[in-house]
Structure 1
Amino acid sequence: MTEMTSPHRVSHGTASPTSTVSAGLRAGQARRFGRELGYLLTGLPLGIAAFVVAVTGFSFGLGTLVVWLGLPVLVGLLRAARGFARVERRRVESVTGRALPPHHYRERGGSGLGGLVRALGDPQSWRDLLHMVVAFPARVVGFCLALTWTVGAAGELLYVTWSWAVPRDGDDQSLLDLMFGVDSRVADIAFNTGIGVLMAASAIPVIRALVALQSGLARGLLTNRYAAERARR
C-alpha cells in the first residue's frame, strides 16, 4: 500500500524563506551597528589630532603672520586640513554606504609669495579647517555616549553575575535604595537588568543619531555642490 504524502507537510530540515530573510536582516543590522560603533569610537583619536593641528597651526600662523613666517604655516595648515577632510569623507561614505555630494578646490595659484596668498583664498580649505574644530565636541560626545551605551548595557544586563561584589553594609546603598528606598537584592537585580534592557533596546537609535550628527557636519562643511557644479561648467 502506497503511503500518501500531504502537500501541506513542511520539512523540518529546511529553513523557511521567511526565517532566512529575517536572519539576513538581523545580520545586516548587526554589521551596520558594528560599522557605526567603530566610526564613533575611532572618531575621537582622529578628532584629537585634527583639533590639535588646527588650533596650534592657526595660532602659530596668525601670530607669526606679521613677520611673513605665518604665511607658509597657514598654507601648510590648509593643506593638512584637506588631508583630514579627505579621510573624513571616506569614513562617512563607508559608514553610511552613500556617496557624499561633490566638493571643489580652487587650483593652486602658482609659486612664490603671490601663490601663497592665492592659496589662502580657497573657501573650501577654510571650511575643512573649520570642520576640524567644530567636529571635535561632536566626536567627544559621540565617543562617550557610544561607549557608555554599549558597555553600560552589557554591564547592566549581566548585573546578576557581578552584583555580589557591590558593598551592601553600613552606609553603602544600591541605586534602587538611593532612588526609591527599596532595600532588596532581588529588586535591585531586576531594576538594573531592566535598565540594561532599555539601554540595549535604544542602542541602535542612539548610535544612529550620533552618526547622523557627525555625518551631517561633514556633509555641511566638507562638500560644496554648487561650487563643484560651477567648476565643471
Structure 2
Amino acid sequence: MSAPVIALSGITKTYEGEGDAEVHALSGIDLDIFAGEYVALMGPSGSGKSTLMHILGCLDQPTAGRYLLGGDDVSQLAEDELAQIRNERIGFVFQAFNLLARTSAQKNVELPLAYRGVGLRERAERARDALTRVGLGDRLLHKPSELSGGQKQRVAIARALVQDPQVLLADEPTGNLDSKSTRDILGLFDELHREGRTLILVTHEEEVGARAGRTIWLRDGLISDGRPLLEASV
C-alpha cells in the first residue's frame, strides 16, 4: 500500500482554561488517510472534530504529535509556511461559503491563484474551467447575492478545486442549504470522489456522513472504537 497522504501520530491539542485549568480538545489522535479516500469526521458537540479539522487544514498547530501531509512534517511550521501550505495543497469548503460579496463568481475563484502569483490570463481560464466543472459555466459574472445557496457553495467548491489541492476539506458544507441543494452538493462530492479526489468532510448529520467511504467518530478528543450517540443539540 502506498504511503498515506495524511498521517497523524499522537496529535494532542490543549487550550488554557480559567485559572490553571486546561482544556484537552484532542488527547492523542493516530490517523492515516490515503489518496482518493472520502472520509467523514463525526461526533457530538465538544468531541474534538472541529479542532481536528483545523489541524488537518493547517489552520492551527497541535500541542504535541506529528502531522505528515504528503510525507512532509507540517506539525510545527511557522505561520507564513502554514499559509503557503493552505494556499497550495489544501482546498477548503465552509458552511458559510466565505465568498467576497461584491466580487463575481469568477473573481472569487481566481483569488487563491492571485495569491500564488498566477498571471491574469491563466487564472481567468482556470477559474472558468473550475466553475464549468461544478455546473456554473453560465454564472461566471454573477455576484453571490445573485446566486442561490447551492450555487454559492458550488462557487466555493470551484475555488477550492482551482488550485488542484492534495486534499479537499469540507466543514459542514451543507449546513446552510435546503434539502435539494444538499443532495446536489453531495452528488458533486460523490463525483469528485470517483475522480480520485481526497475528501474529508466534517458533519454532524448522519445522512451526510453516510455518503463517505469511511466514517471516523470522535468522542472526548479521541477516535472512538464504537459509534457514539450524537447529541440532539449538535
- What TM-score comes out, normalization by structure 1 length? 0.23
Greater strand content: 2
Higher radius of gyration, 1 or 2? 1
- What TM-score comes out, normalization by structure 2 length? 0.23
